[in-house]
Amino acid sequence: MSSEAPVVVVVEPETPGNVGTIARAMKNFGFSDLKLVNPPAIDRESEAYGFAGHAREDVLPDAEEVTFDFVVENFHTVGFTAITNEDARRHVRFPFTTPRQLADSLARVETRTALVFGREGTGLSNAELERLDEVCSIPASEEYPVLNLGQAATVALYELRTLTLGRGVEDTQLPDVERERAAEADIDRFYDFFESFLSQIEHRDHKREKTMRMLRRLVGRAHPTEREITTLTGLFRKASERVQPPEKQQ
C-alpha cells in the first residue's frame, strides 16, 4: 500500500453543497487532502459546511485552491467519468478501470495520486481527460449511468478506502461474522423443540421428516445468531406446551 494517500481534486464544482458532500465522504473513508480547481465561494455559512459533517473541522477548511495544470504536473492522475462509450480505436475515455480495480492497482505502486472529479453538469471534458493518466468509471445501469458529483465521489472513495484505511478496515466496525453463529448445541436444542411441536400437529411420518429436513436446510443457510435461536426456541417451546394432542381435544 502506498504510504501517501491520494488527494481528491474537484474541477470547477458549481455548488458549495457538493464540495461539502465530497469532504464528508473523504472523512468517512480516510482521505484528507482536498484540492479545488476554480471553486465557488465557500464560507462557513454556506451549504458546504452544512453538508460536510465532521469534515467541516479539517478536510473542508484545509482545502487548497489549485490549477488544473498544477494537478497534471505534480500527480499521477485518475479522471472519473460516467461516459465510456469508446473502444480501442480511441483513447480519450478508453481503456478505463473501475474503482475496485483501481484500488488494487494503486496499492501496488508508490506514487502521488490525484483522483480528479469534474463538474456537476458536464463532468470532465475530453480535453481534460486527454491530459490525465488513467480513466475510471463506476459501473451502473446502461440506461442511466450518470451519477451526480457527490454520489460519484462517495462511491469511488468507498471502493478506494483500502488505500487509506488498510485491508482490515472491515474489522474496525463490523462484527466477526464467523463467530456470530449460535452454538451448535443451542441450534440442536431448537430442532428438538420444533420437532416436538411438529409431532403434535402433523402425524404423518414422511411429512414430519420432510419438514425437519427443510428446516435444517433453512437454518443452515441462515446462520442464526445466539439471540435469534434463543427466541425461536422459546417460541416453539411455548407453542408445543399449548398445543394439545388430538386425543385430549375430544
Over residues 206-218, the pLDDT tens digits come to: 888 899 999 989 8
51 by Cβ neighbours in 10 Å (0-12 / 13-18 / 19+) ranks as buried
Cα separation, 167 vs 28, whole angstroms:
16
What is the rounded CA–CA span in Å between residue 158 and residue 8? 13
- Per-residue pLDDT, 179: 47
Q: What is the pTM of this model?
A: 0.71
- Report the C-alpha gap between 147 and 28 in whole angstroms: 19
pLDDT at 87 over 50: no
Dump pLDDT digits (tens) for 123-138: 898 899 888 888 898 8
| pLDDT single digits (tens) 94-110 | 557 899 999 988 888 78
Q: For residue 244, is pLDDT > 80?
A: no
Provide mean pLDDT across the span 148-156. 93
Summarize the chain as % helix, strand, coil (round to 5): 50, 10, 40
Statement: residue 49 has pLDDT above 60: yes
